[in-house]
């Protein structure tokens, strides 16, 4: 008799300012939990940070009696600042990310003259190679290297669910852009095929949602079968050449994300803010003519 995969409990927290979904994933048998892709609130007009989104997530953990074991990042985000370091400081939970993060740190550490950032991933507590495995209570977790959006993207397969970050969006919105440094539409196609190779009933949780024409509510859960059949960029057996042509043409029309410069210099530090200057103040750098 085939044993069915364990089914974790999943709570999604949608941040309307950045269209980001933070997940609390827990094992109902043990109350062990992880947080995936937490948000640190940031107002670009005033350069003020806030932990309101972090508080919301931690409050739910407390109310439900969940024990936080890890904070996981799917990649170094360009559209929001991560709340991972804030949560680590408050809870002691380690931060994990894919082991190709060193390449991203090297690229963007140089852009921001971030001399405090070493390109070895050491600011993260755990860096995972493709195929790495660990447990969430009684539920197995597998790390899948799914590059394309960035060279360091990973997805997390947790029981009957997979958390794909920016690799895939909801079927009516398509797939991630590939025009950031190290992005690659061919790599993204192959990464998506790997996800689509999972069982059809695997739950797919996406990292963002946007409202295409005709939809009025945000969603972030779908299935492998729905992505295979209905994804407007990759579904219906789309060939690699057709996908790459579509993706590259679309990417050529996209503007840089509004928070790309603040986000990347914080996120390569695992969410820690840049170090204080002699005045005691911290500064976000905006390198001119660089993006």
CB of 99 closer than 8 Å to CB of 129: yes
Q: Which of 198, 112, 207, 226 is nearest to 150 (CA)?
A: 207
| Contact status, residue 145 vs residue 67, Cβ threshold 8 Å | no
Rounded Cα–Cα distance for residues 21 and 279 (Å): 36
Tens digit of pLDDT at every position of the chain (291 positions) = 456 789 999 999 999 999 999 999 999 999 999 999 999 999 999 999 999 999 999 999 999 999 999 999 999 999 999 999 999 999 999 999 999 999 999 999 988 988 788 878 889 999 999 999 999 999 999 999 999 999 999 999 999 999 999 999 999 999 999 999 999 999 999 999 999 999 999 999 999 999 999 999 999 999 999 999 999 999 999 999 999 999 999 999 999 999 999 999 999 999 999 999 989 999 999 898 877
pLDDT at 119: 78
Per-residue b/e over 158-178, b at no fewer than 16 CB within 10 Å? bbbbbbbbbbbbbbbbbbbbb
Q: d(Cα 240, Cα 195) in Å, to the nearest integer? A: 15
The per-residue pLDDT for 289 is 85
Task: Please name each of the domains of the chain with its CATH number.
Answer: 9-257 (3.60.15.10)
d(CA 98, CA 195): 16
The predicted pLDDT at position 115 comes to 78
pTM: 0.96
Three-state SS string over 168-208 comes to ECCCCCCECCCCCCCCCHHHHHHHHHHHHCCCCCCEEECCE
Q: Tell me how far apart the terminal alpha carbons of the chain are, to the nearest angstrom.
A: 55
């Amino acid at each position: 008799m085939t044993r069915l995969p364990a089914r974790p409990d999943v709570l999604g927290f949608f941040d309307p300012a950045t269209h980001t979904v933070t997940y609390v994933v827990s094992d109902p048998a043990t109350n062990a939990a992880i947080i995936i892709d937490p948000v640190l609130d940031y107002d670009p007009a005033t350069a003020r940070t806030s932990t309101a989104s972090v508080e919301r997530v931690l409050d739910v953990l407390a109310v439900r009696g969940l024990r936080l074991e890890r904070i996981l990042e799917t990649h170094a985000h360009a559209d929001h600042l991560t709340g991972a370091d804030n949560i680590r400081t408050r809870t002691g939970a380690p931060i994990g990310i894919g082991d190709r993060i060193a390449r991203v740190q090297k690229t963007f550490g140089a852009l921001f003259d971030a001399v405090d950032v070493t390109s070895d991933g050491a600011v993260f507590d755990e860096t995972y190679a493709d195929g790495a495995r660990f447990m969430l209570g009684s539920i197995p977790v597998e790390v899948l290297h799914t590059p394309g959006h960035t060279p360091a993207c990973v997805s997390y397969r947790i029981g009957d669910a997979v958390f794909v970050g920016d690799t895939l969006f909801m079927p009516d919105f398509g797939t991630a852009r590939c025009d950031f440094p190290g992005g690659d539409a061919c790599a993204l196609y192959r990464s998506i095929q790997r996800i689509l190779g999972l069982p059809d009933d695997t739950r797919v949780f996406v990292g963002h949602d946007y409202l295409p024409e005709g939809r009025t509510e945000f969603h972030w859960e779908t299935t492998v079968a729905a992505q295979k059949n209905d994804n407007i960029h990759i579904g219906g057996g789309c060939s690699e050449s057709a996908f790459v042509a579509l993706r590259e043409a679309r990417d050529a029309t996209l503007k840089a994300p509004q928070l790309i410069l603040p986000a990347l210099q914080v996120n390569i530090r695992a969410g820690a803010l840049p170090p204080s200057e002699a005045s005691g103040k911290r500064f976000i750098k905006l390198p001119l003519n660089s993006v």
